[in-house]
Amino acid sequence: MTILVTGGAGFIGSNFIFYEREKHPEDRIVCVDKLTYAGNLSTLAPVMDDPMFRFVKADICDRKAIFALFEEERPDIVVNFAAESHVDRSIEDPGVFLETNIMGTAVMMDASRKYGVTRYHQVSTDEVYGDLPLDRPDLFFTETTPLHTSSPYSSSKAGADLLVMAYHRTFGLPVTVSRCSNNYGPYQFPEKLIPLMIANALNDKPLPVYGKGENVRDWLYVEDHCKAIDLIIREGRVGEVYNIGGHNEMANIDIVKLICRLLGKPESLITFVTDRKGHDMRYAIDPAKIHAELGWLPETMFAEGIRRTIVWYLEHREWWETIVSGEYRSYYEKMYGSR
Ligand code: NAD
Ligand code: TYD
């Protein structure tokens, strides 16, 4: 069958494509990506010459281009990763988040309806549930936790999730939605916490921790996320939401200190900077449903995942150094210069 993957030149989408090519070599993958600042075609170099892979540069908001591609490819399954994904950028400029994350999702679903897919899968986030208090470690997000967003990013993702469920109820589109916690691993753009801290530490640059560094995230190795999505699109129940997370909560400051230790860099590089506006305190996923229904469990423990990630960034310096020296530099100046 043909799986159409949007946003496949980004962090999780590219890892998903590699996972699918390895696990299901009989399935063809068509990747659609606009190649925004976060999309990097060089990431897909290992599959570019694979006859079972095709890359198409297109914007998921471009209805004409997307419908023409569906006409040509008639995909069986659509997995929508394409999104503006960085909370800090959404605070600076919400508009493009609404365009890509909501309107782009509508275009992908309209094409999926017209050409008839067996599954439309929406890759969402635990951030749609808002945050949990630090002093209630007994609380977790379940699939029935009300949507309650904090940032323009999470609001745009929640808007898309609502639209996906509406297309299921109104038009009978065979949808699934997954809501995953924070991912880390190879090919993550160095504006996100873990790769940013690794890159800065390797360059002996300050490590900017927002607020007091107390905020807690529930970290999952990217391959475990890909495996969960693969299970959902093949065995998940239509019309269902699945939370994905590995019960691996850590405070930001502890992650940054660990990175210092693993890289042999001094903690004196850590600088506490002005907090993010509306900063969510804690995310924590209850993955009981996906475990019970699909048998999914995370396989990579954090100690191993972070070690692998650091080794990857050490061995792929040219991948992130190109990014860090490009347009990203002016972004970094703007976001951190006055903090
Ligand atoms: P990313 O920013 O690394 O990649 C996004 C990709 O989408 C890029 O290749 C970009 O070029 C492409 N893209 C952006 N706008 C597009 C458009 N209009 N048309 C076509 N392509 C476009 O993001 P990521 O971290 O890989 O996240 C992928 C998905 O997973 C997102 O939907 C995100 O909300 C979700 N998610 C991410 C995390 C995480 O920790 N990174 C956790 C849970 C869910
Ligand atoms: P991030 O990787 O942007 O993911 P998200 O905001 O979607 O969870 O940030 C993870 C956490 O790290 C979040 O609490 C904000 C914090 N953070 C910093 O302290 N410093 C930084 O430079 C960045 C990018 C994030």
Residue 27 to residue 233: CA distance in whole angstroms: 13
Token output for 192: 């996100």
Pocket-testing residue among 192, 260, 328, 333, ligand 2, by greatest number of atoms within 8 A of Cβ? 192
Q: Is the pLDDT of residue 159 over 90?
A: yes
Q: Are residues 74 and 50 in contact, defined by beta-carbon separation less than 8 angstroms?
A: no
On average, the pLDDT of the chain sits at 97
Q: How many residues does the chain have?
A: 339
Q: Is the pTM of this model over 0.95?
A: yes
User: What's domain 2-185+220-248+281-300's architecture?
Assistant: 3-Layer(aba) Sandwich (3.40)
The pLDDT of 253-272, averaged and rounded, is 98
CA of 13 relative to ligand 1 center, distance in Å? 7
Pick the residue whose CA is nearest to atom 9 on ligand 2.
193
Pocket-testing residue among 5, 6, 11, 59, ligand 1, by greatest number of atoms within 8 A of Cβ? 11
Q: At what angle do helices 252-263 and 302-315 cross, to 10 degrees?
A: 50
Delimit the domains of the chain by residue range: 2-185+220-248+281-300
CA of 178 relative to ligand 2 center, distance in Å? 21
Q: Is the pLDDT of residue 329 over 90?
A: no
Q: Is the pLDDT of residue 327 over 80?
A: no
pLDDT at 214: 98
Per-residue pLDDT reduced to its tens digit, 117-139 = 999 999 999 999 999 999 999 99
Per-residue pLDDT reduced to its tens digit, 62-117 = 999 999 999 999 999 999 999 999 999 999 999 999 999 999 999 999 999 999 99
pLDDT at 293: 98
Residue 232 to residue 11: CA distance in whole angstroms: 19
Q: Is 126 a catalytic residue?
A: yes
112 CA to centre of own chain: 22
Question: Residue 336, CB half-sphere, CA atoms under 13 Å: how many?
Answer: 18
Q: Is the pLDDT of residue 328 over 90?
A: no
Per-residue pLDDT reduced to its tens digit, 242-259 = 999 989 999 999 999 999
The pLDDT of 165-194, averaged and rounded, is 98
- Residue 153 CA: which ligand 1 atom is closest? 34
pLDDT at 338: 77
Q: Is 153 a catalytic residue?
A: yes
The pLDDT of 309-323, averaged and rounded, is 95
Proportion of the chain above pLDDT 70, given as a percent? 100
The CA-atom distances, in angstroms, between 233 and each of 27, 177, 239 are 13, 10, 12
**pLDDT classification of 335: cutoffs 50, 70, 90:** confident
